[in-house]
Chain A
Amino acid sequence: MNWTSFLEFTRGPLFYAALLIFIAGMVYRLVRVIALGWARDRVKSRGSKLGGAVRSLLKGFLIWPFIPWVKNTFSRSPLIYVAGGLFHLGLFVVIFLGAAHMLVWKSLLGFGWPTLPLPIVDWLAVVAIAAMIVLFINRLVHPVLKLISGPAEWLNLVFVFLPMISGYILTHHLFFRYETAYSLHMLAVDWLLIWIPLSRISHFMFYFFAKAIHGAQFGKRAVAP
């Protein structure tokens, strides 16, 4: 098998299979958690649970969770806020606002959208890659992170790192022939898609639950979430 046909395989059948596993896996995770049952809250509210939940989601989502809303939290863990925020920012811009990826979305969804110029996307990708390295090192040295990190936490970072770095190599024609670099990038992407439902990277789905619960609990007591 040569690289060209391997590329056809990784961006064709393997990609669709991985996508299917990703979707089925995430749906399974969602259903599993919801099916565990939700006890009705019979406590009388003082404030508004809905209002609190909406506020909490707006606060966390429109402006992103990496804003340190609580006094003194930023100065105590600036690395996680800055590197974590830049990593997610870069990741989202690359996935949704990079021209090449938009075309993938277009082929999947049937419609496209305007994208950012390549140099901007490119820089944010570099920033994201650097931020991931910083996060990795921080996890190695920070006593709390060392304590709470198991193999899965290390692998999460590695498996998100691989598509990012291979994508960068691909756009800049570094080290490998085009087909080789492209195949490696697709392989990393396919694997990430399979890995997400098996891991904690699924946090982006449960984020909405946790934030809503948080808002409801604080709103119920008429306290700003």
Chain B
Amino acid sequence: MTTQAPTNGSGRSPTVPALQTFVKETGGWVASQLEACTRCGICAEACHFYQATGNPEYAPVWKIELLRRAYEQRFTIGGRLRLAAGLAKPISDADLAHWSTLVYEACTMCNKCAIACPMGIQIGPLIHEVRSAMSEAGVVPPELMAAVNKQMAEGSPLGMTDSVWDSRLEWVADEWEEEIPRDVQGADTLVVFSSIEVMKFPGNVAAIAKIMNAAGEKWTVSSEAREIVNFGFYEGNEHRTVEILKRVFDGAVALGVKRIVVTECGHAYDALRWTAANLMDVPVGIEVTHIAGVLGDFVRQGRIKLKAGAFDNDGVITFHDACKIQRRGGHINEPREILKILAPNAFKEMSPNREQAICCCGGGVIAIKEADPQRYAVFQMKVDQARKVGAQTVTMTCSNCRLQFTDGVAHFGLDLKVTGLAQMVADALVE
């Protein structure tokens, strides 16, 4: 683990902008939660990073330590007195560098800690506030910053440029013989994929296209709003988050669609569905939803028919809850309803599951090489849970998790099949 982080290159100490951000973000929402913390340490045991490594610095409450210090030293009498008397340490450049590695390399924003905390403190979102300060101060891991810059310049952190997008989509449509409507004015639904799907899981793109077509949905993709991933949000930079969100909303407005369907990216769904309206003026009358919810609706409304028991004969299948789509997105029931049709006997739940599931450790840290040791350590816990129910296949609704699973399975040489729910649904469609 490195504690070295770049400074913002302005010659000014990074603590100044960091503190300004802390102060700006400290509304009652943040303050009342910081005040409620009894420093009991229970959240530590909820965090997969702590569970896997036993490193006390990975306790969620410790990751927001700088936010607490900044808040107390600025807004509370006791904190100010202690600072003046030299009893409290002001935040230093070295602190920022150190906490930068903690909040970027040892947190996936899964918010499991929030449900374990006896006070119910939303530590995940508070860590996002710490990231905002890091971003303002320019103390972001270089690898992440490079990906952010790439997305700002090229539209995608994975290098999905105009020509790559064109050729990739054409190839998918050809290879799977599926129609993918592009830039259709007046379509009802704009589907925005993540570049992970387009570049690494093209089968998922084809599967979603097949399902949309089968359901008779008037849908389209947009060459303007073609990347759902939001690395500005991941970084915690409000300005860049909004700029990337705007690309998606502008594309949707230009086509006149009624809803945006976010596909398989957790951070993107969090940004677009649960954060955008508080950061910017979002276009009215455009609903934002997730493909997991759409699949559920299609099945409930009978718009697609699935072959019952289609996956009942390939050994035990288990479902991995993606933090940002299930616990923090709310689409907990739909995948289960579908799996009960597809594999009524073979589907087994891991424990814990649903909103209490543990993160697979893909979410974000997979983009930072330095985080590899803890990422693999956590993944092993997840695999153990799958093993416990005898799973031969694990399915999910997030391509970022899927990237983590495919990478982890290869890294450990495991005999575990990794697939996506959309792909299973597409394979089980009855015309």
Interface residues in chain A, defined as those with a beta carbon under 8 Å from any beta carbon in chain B: 29, 32-39, 41-44, 46-47, 56, 60, 65-66, 69-73, 76-77, 80-81, 84, 142-149, 151, 153, 198-200, 202-203, 206-207, 209-211, 213-215, 217-218, 220-225
B120 touches A213 (CB 8 A): yes
Which one of B41, B121, B330 lies within 8 Å of A210 (CB-CB)? B121
A37 touches B28 (CB 8 A): yes
Indicate whether B115 reaches chain A with its CB closer than 8 angstroms: yes
A144 touches B44 (CB 8 A): yes
Q: Which of B20-75 contact A (CB under 8 A)?
A: 26-29, 31-33, 35-42, 44-46, 50-51, 54, 56-57, 59, 61-62, 65, 75
A203 touches B57 (CB 8 A): no
Interface residues in chain B, defined as those with a beta carbon under 8 Å from any beta carbon in chain A: 26-29, 31-33, 35-42, 44-46, 50-51, 54, 56-57, 59, 61-62, 65, 75-76, 78, 87, 114-116, 118-122, 125, 273-278, 326-330, 332, 351-352, 355-356
A142 touches B116 (CB 8 A): no
In the assembled complex, the CB of A24 is this many whole angstroms from the nearest CB of chain B, namely 12
B32 touches A145 (CB 8 A): no
A69 touches B330 (CB 8 A): no
Which one of B35, B122, B276 lies within 8 Å of A206 (CB-CB)? B35
Instruction: Jot down 30 A-B pairs with beta carbons below 8 A, ordered by A.
Output: A36-B26, A36-B75, A38-B27, A41-B278, A42-B277, A43-B273, A43-B274, A43-B278, A60-B118, A60-B120, A65-B118, A65-B119, A71-B351, A72-B352, A73-B46, A77-B41, A144-B50, A145-B39, A146-B56, A200-B37, A206-B119, A209-B33, A210-B33, A210-B119, A213-B120, A213-B122, A217-B114, A221-B329, A223-B328, A223-B330
Chain B residues with Cβ below 8 Å from A43 are 273-278
In the assembled complex, the CB of B20 is this many whole angstroms from the nearest CB of chain A, namely 16
A38 to B326, CA, bound (A): 27
A77 touches B45 (CB 8 A): yes
B36 touches A206 (CB 8 A): yes
B120 touches A56 (CB 8 A): yes
With both beta carbons as reference points, the residue of chain A lying nearest to B281 in the complex is identified as A42
B41 touches A145 (CB 8 A): yes
Known contacts being A33-B35, A36-B27, is A70 close to B120, with CB within 8 Å?
Answer: no
Known contacts being A38-B28, A214-B114, is A84 close to B57, with CB within 8 Å?
Answer: no
